């Protein structure tokens, strides 16, 4: 048993979709989450910069004595996962390979990927899918406007629905059987994505799939949290507006009591705002 928390990081609120799955699948595990909203979006940034940001947040989470790290951001996974896994003594889980594995198990011959520019340009999904099944047809589409819509608009509005419909019209000319939501922001608008793609297309939530990997590691390495420990207290942090982040988090996680603390970035370090 190990009662330390699991750390999660993302460029903003997107990783909360991974947390939501964790709350359902791993209810006894404590969560510490950091959303780097002040520097969102990560997608257009150079990989080296994203890697630096990821390390800064990771170092903050390590200071909280986490037992496992989830990079709940596809762009950060593509940029930093191998480096983190090579240098950290705790397990590190990304969100790309679990999505690839789920798509390969679907047995559908045409797979679509929607993600940020950084994730698409990295080739992580295309290469991973091709190495798993060489005869797959892979169609990739960068959809950075979905991230902006989730972070800055009412993600359940008809305006966002129209943005999604217009963007995914691409797949009418490039049809697919399976669509990987290769950005953890996208499941917040999964209803609109499903409507645009139609019922015949299987949607894969790459971030949620990663919790299966986390669950396996916890069991194999005897890292599970003891049942019903009274001291369990989930913590949420953001480098941006705690009020804005909190509003989205409370709505998505259905928790009106959820508290969000602010973080600052000082001298390339992520620190509590009251320090």
Q: Which of 6, 73, 201, 249 is catalytic?
A: 73
Q: Is 267 marked as a binding-site residue?
A: no
Whether 166 and 113 share a structural domain: yes
Place of tokens 């950091």: 34
Whether 105 and 188 share a structural domain: yes
Whether 68 and 17 share a structural domain: yes
Q: Is 255 marked as a binding-site residue?
A: no
**Domain C-terminal end among 186, 207, 228:** 207
The SS3 assignment for 239 reads coil
Strand ranges for the chain from DSSP E:
6-10, 31-35, 68-71, 92-93, 110-115, 137-142, 178-181, 202-205, 235-238, 260-266, 269-272
Whether 86 and 109 share a structural domain: no
Q: Is 10 marked as a binding-site residue?
A: yes
Whether 180 and 202 share a structural domain: yes
Whether 159 and 197 share a structural domain: yes
Q: Which two tokens stand for residue 178?
A: 């399976």
Q: Is 75 marked as a binding-site residue?
A: yes
Place of tokens 């963007």: 167
Whether 51 and 140 share a structural domain: no
Whether 33 and 134 share a structural domain: no
Whether 220 and 268 share a structural domain: yes
Strands 110-115 and 6-10: unpaired
In a domain? residue 144: yes
Q: Is 183 a catalytic residue?
A: yes
In a domain? residue 54: yes
- Give the per-residue pLDDT at 10: 98
- What is the full per-residue pLDDT of the chain (275 aa) written as tens digits? 999 999 999 999 999 999 999 999 999 999 999 999 999 999 999 999 999 999 999 999 999 999 999 999 999 999 999 999 999 999 999 999 999 999 998 877 999 999 999 999 999 999 999 999 988 999 999 999 999 999 987 888 999 999 999 999 999 999 999 999 999 999 999 999 999 999 999 999 999 999 999 999 999 999 999 876 555 689 999 999 999 999 999 999 999 999 999 999 999 999 998 65
Q: Is 105 marked as a binding-site residue?
A: no
CATH number of the domain where residue 44 is located: 3.40.50.1860
Whether 117 and 170 share a structural domain: yes
Model pTM score = 0.93
Tally the domains of the chain: 2
**Domain C-terminal end among 207, 237, 256:** 207
Residue 221: domain span: 6-94+208-272
Q: Is 179 a catalytic residue?
A: no
Minimal CA–CA distance to 93: which of 76, 112, 105? 76
Q: Which of 84, 102, 183, 204 is catalytic?
A: 183
Phi and psi at 214, nearest 5°, equal: -60, -45
Q: Is 65 marked as a binding-site residue?
A: no
């Amino acid at each position: 048993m190990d009662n330390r928390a699991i750390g999660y990081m993302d460029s903003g609120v997107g990783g909360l979709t991974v947390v939501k799955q964790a709350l359902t699948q791993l209810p006894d595990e404590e969560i510490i989450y950091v959303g780097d909203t002040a520097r969102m979006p990560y997608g257009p940034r150079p990989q080296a910069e994203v890697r630096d940001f990821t390390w800064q947040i990771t170092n903050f989470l390590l200071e909280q004595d986490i037992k496992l790290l989830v990079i709940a951001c596809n762009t950060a996974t593509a940029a930093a996962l191998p480096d983190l896994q090579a240098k950290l003594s705790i397990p590190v889980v990304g969100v790309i390979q679990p999505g690839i594995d789920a798509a390969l198990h679907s047995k559908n011959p045409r797979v679509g990927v929607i993600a940020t520019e950084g994730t698409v340009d990295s080739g992580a999904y295309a290469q991973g899918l091709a190495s798993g099944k060489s005869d797959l047809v892979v169609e990739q589409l960068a959809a950075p406007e979905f991230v902006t819509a989730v972070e800055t608009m009412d993600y359940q509005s008809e305006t966002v629905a129209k943005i999604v419909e217009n963007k995914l019209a691409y797949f009418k000319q490039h049809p697919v059987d399976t669509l990987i939501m290769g950005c953890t922001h996208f499941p917040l608008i999964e209803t609109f994505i499903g409507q645009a793609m139609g019922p015949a297309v299987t949607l894969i939530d790459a971030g949620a799939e990663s919790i299966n990997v986390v669950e396996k590691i916890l069991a194999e390495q005897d890292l599970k949290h003891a049942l019903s420990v009274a001291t369990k207290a989930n913590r949420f942090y953001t480098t941006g507006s705690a009020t804005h982040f909190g509003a989205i988090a409370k709505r998505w996680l259905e928790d009106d009591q959820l508290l969000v603390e602010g973080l600052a970035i000082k001298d390339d370090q992520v620190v509590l705002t009251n320090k």
